[in-house]
Each structure stands twice: as C-alpha cells, then as structure tokens.
Amino acid sequence: MEVNVTDLRKKFAELFGADGEAKAYFAPGRVNLIGEHTDYNGGHVFPCALTIGTYGIIRPRQDRTIRFYSLNFSDMGIVETSLDDLAPSESAGWTNYPKGIFWTFEKRGYHLETGADILIYGNIPAGSGLSSSASLEVLTGLMLRDTFGFDIPMADLALIGQYSENNFNGMNCGIMDQFASAMGKKDCAIFLDTNTLNYEYAPVKLPDATIVITNSNVKHSLVSSAYNDRRRESETALKDLQSVTQIQTLGDLTEDAFEQYKDAIKDPICRKRAKHAVYENQRTIKAVEALKKNDIATFGKLINASHVSLRDDYETSCPETDLLAELAWNVPGVYGSRITGGGFGGCTVSIVKKESVDLFIQTLDKAYTSKTGIKAEFYVVDIGDGAHALD
C-alpha cells in the first residue's frame, strides 16, 4: 500500500520524457461513518477521508493532446486523446473519469488551451466502494486547477467531480464522495448538510476504539442502475409527500412528520425508501451529537440501526455485507458495524475497541470464508487530509 512518489516520477519520465517540470498530487478515498443514501435526499452525511487514495503526476503540453497512463491499468498502455475530442467512450475505460473533468472544466468556462501528460496510481482496493472514482475526479480537478492557474475553491472541485460523474459517466451520485475527497481533514469526519453544503469538522476521538473497514470482496452487478433506481424511488416518494406538506427534500422531515404524512406515498416500496432517507438523516444528526459527547456506545447503536435500515428499507445491502455486519455485532468490544457506501457489496465499517481488533479480524475472517467461500480483507484505517499537492 505504501506509495513512493519518487518511483512514480521516474515512471512518468520513462513514459513521457524527463524535460520540464512535472508536479505530484494526491486525493484520498473516503469511508462514510453514517448518513447513507441521504446525500441526494437533502440530508446529512458523515464521511471521512482516508490515507489511501489516488496519486497523480502532471505536466502541461504545448499542443492540444492529453496522454494518460495508469499503473493500475498498465495493460491499456498510454491512452491518448485530444481537448477537441472529449466524448465518453467504452474503449476509453478508466480515462473516462479524468476526461470527464477536462470536459466539465470547459463547460464551466475554465478554458484550457493545451493538454497535459498525466500518470495515475491508486492504492484503494478495486471495487471496494471506498470512492476510487471520486478520488480520481477530485485529483484531476486539482491538477488542472493548479497546472493551468485557475482560482477554484476545493468545494467547487467536488461539485465539478460530481457533475462530471453524473453527466459524463452516467452515474447519478450525490456530492458526498467528492466532497470528502476534496475537503477531508486529518482525524476528523465531515458533518455535511447536503442541502446547503454547510459543513463542520467533527474530531473522531475514539479513546479506546478504532475504525476497521472490512472488504466483502463482492461487487454485485448493476450497481449503478440499482443506485439510479433508488434515486427515482426517493423522488417519487418526495413528490407524493409534497402533495400534503410543504417540503423541498426528504431531509426536511423529522421522524414524527414522516409518520404523519407517510400514507401520502402511494407505492409501498417508495414509502420504505423514504422512511430510510428520513430516519437515516435524523440518525446522522444524533450520531454526531453522541460523538461530540464522547458517547461511543450511542454512536455505535445508531451505526447498527443504519445497517438494519439499509438492509430492510433501502435494500442496498446484500447477503455478504449482512453477514459481515451480523458477525461483527456478536463480537465483544464492537460498538457498531454497518455497510458503508453505495452498497450491493463493497465494505462494512466497524467501530471496534482496540483490545478487540485481533479477535474481530479472526472471528470475521474465519466465519465469513466458511459461509461464503470468499476471503474478506481488513483495513485498520487512519483519517487523512483532503486532496493536496505533494510538493
């Protein structure tokens, strides 16, 4: 996992030549502690940036060519495109993410005269749901901003990343992942109101515990279409509710107000989706209050309730992540555990007493493999800073 930036620079010089100044950047992945599928429902989220993420080396060119190379997709070799040909294509593979950022810069009026040579390396496990694509988007935005001298606040780089993912890559994601990658802060989670983009850093001080991410190593297919379905179902629920109460988003409702108005939602599936969005938002607010009071037990209970709601009402969990969460709940010393991120596979996040981490890993490792035949992976993670230049 350790990344040596000098080695990345050497590789860059080998591929693209050694003349001219190349600069190095990093953008992190994220883990969301609580507030899942609330970011496109006008609710709160509580993610933190990780110390793993995506590294980039960039040097501007004199012409309109863009050349990309990723050490993670070295079989694709150097992928070449032009500033005059910024349309998504299947053959462009991973480069559709950075290409989308070039495209979005143009759309937003940040005009680029010349292209660039770009080397990428990421150390987020593939398909883990820890936001490798968002980190690549934010990284590219930051590299373009600095290389071509634009004045763009970091939060806007997050919005550029989201716009690109929605409109260039066809994934209708919310703002959470890009925001966490751009705005993260060491040892803090970001309490973000996705309705206003107001945010506050909350120190994650866990006196006797640590954050453990467990990778189920499964990614079920159709993730982006199932995700887009959830968005539509939530929107349908909102429209029905708006016929009986004046709200802008599901995040405007308390639990009591939801119970009062819920019968206006005609479709029972949409009603369940809205229930999750409303309750999860309120859980997130309560979880941050609990964390601020150092009440880790309450924080953990809310995390568990989030999993149950994602499993039963939002239906974005899957048997493998359900198993990981249930196993975790039964290990002494675990405050809380739930699926994290978009869902349908990926990772769980658990708050585990330091003295119980070994037991936690041993227990889940054994039981998970024996029940599923799949090997889980465990990462005891640190919370890192948002995207930044490395020199």
Binding test (CB under 6 A) with ligand GLA, winner from 25, 29, 37, 364:
37
Q: Which is nearer to ligand GLA, 176 or 327 (CB)?
A: 176
Contact 194, 38 (CB under 8 A): yes
DSSP label at 264? G
Q: Is 136 in the site for ligand GLA (CB under 6 A)?
A: no
Q: Which is nearer to ligand GLA, 104 or 147 (CB)?
A: 104
H or E segment to which residue 155 belongs? helix 154-167
Q: Which is nearer to ligand GLA, 116 or 347 (CB)?
A: 347
Instruction: Give me the least distance between CB of 124 and ligand GLA, in Å please.
Output: 13
Give the Cα separation of 6 and 120 in Å (integer).
Answer: 13
Q: Which is nearer to ligand GLA, 146 or 235 (CB)?
A: 235
Q: Is 345 in the site for ligand GLA (CB under 6 A)?
A: no
Q: Which is nearer to ligand GLA, 39 or 320 (CB)?
A: 39
Q: Which is nearer to ligand GLA, 57 or 383 (CB)?
A: 383
Collapse the DSSP code of 175 into the 3-class scheme (helix H, G, I; strand E, B; otherwise coil) and give the result: coil
Instruction: Give me the least distance between CB of 88 and ligand GLA, in Å please.
Output: 18
Alpha helices in 209-295 (DSSP H): 223-242, 255-261, 268-292
Q: Which parts of 164-223 interact with ligand GLA (CB under 6 A)? A: 173-174, 176-177
DSSP 26-67: EEEEEEESS--S-TTTT-EE-EEEEEEEEEEEEEE-SSSEEE
Give the Cα separation of 362 and 368 in Å (integer).
Answer: 10
Instruction: Give me the least distance between CB of 251 and ligand GLA, in Å please.
Output: 13
User: Pick the catalytic residue: 39, 117, 177, 313?
Assistant: 177
Contacting residues for 147 by C-beta, under 8 A, at least 6 apart: 23, 58, 59, 60, 116
Span from 31-39, 196-204, 205-213, 331-339 in contact with ligand GLA (CB under 6 A): 31-39
Span from 33-41, 246-254, 267-275, 285-293 in contact with ligand GLA (CB under 6 A): 33-41
Instruction: Give me the least distance between CB of 138 and ligand GLA, in Å please.
Output: 12
Identify the residue whose tokens are 């640190």: 382
Q: Is 251 in the site for ligand GLA (CB under 6 A)?
A: no
H or E segment to which residue 297 belongs? helix 296-309
Size of the site for ligand GLA (CB under 6 A): 10
Q: Which parts of 54-113 interact with ligand GLA (CB under 6 A)? A: none
For the question of residue 177 being annotated catalytic, the response is yes
Q: Is 36 in the site for ligand GLA (CB under 6 A)?
A: yes
Q: Is 341 in the site for ligand GLA (CB under 6 A)?
A: yes
H or E segment to which residue 192 belongs? strand 188-193
Chain centroid to CA 223: 14
Identify the residue whose tokens are 């950075």: 98
The contact pattern for ligand GLA, residues 280-299, with x = CB under 6 A and - = no contact, is --------------------
Contact 321, 350 (CB under 8 A): no
Instruction: Give me the least distance between CB of 367 and ligand GLA, in Å please.
Output: 27
Identify the residue whose tokens are 């899957």: 318
Binding test (CB under 6 A) with ligand GLA, winner from 8, 16, 39, 296:
39
Give the Cα separation of 134 and 223 in Å (integer).
Answer: 16
Q: Which is nearer to ligand GLA, 60 or 129 (CB)?
A: 129
User: 351 — phi, psi (to 5°)?
Assistant: -105, 115
Q: Please name the amino acid found at residue 227.
A: Y
Binding test (CB under 6 A) with ligand GLA, winner from 342, 345, 384, 386:
342
Contact 369, 361 (CB under 8 A): no
Q: Which is nearer to ligand GLA, 117 or 320 (CB)?
A: 320
Rounded to 10 deg, the angle between the 96-107 and 132-147 helix axes is 50
Span from 35-43, 50-58, 64-72, 357-365 in contact with ligand GLA (CB under 6 A): 35-43
User: 173 — phi, psi (to 5°)?
Assistant: -65, 160
By CB under 6 A, name the binding residues for ligand GLA. Answer: 36-37, 39-40, 173-174, 176-177, 341-342
Q: Which residues are marked as active site?
A: 177
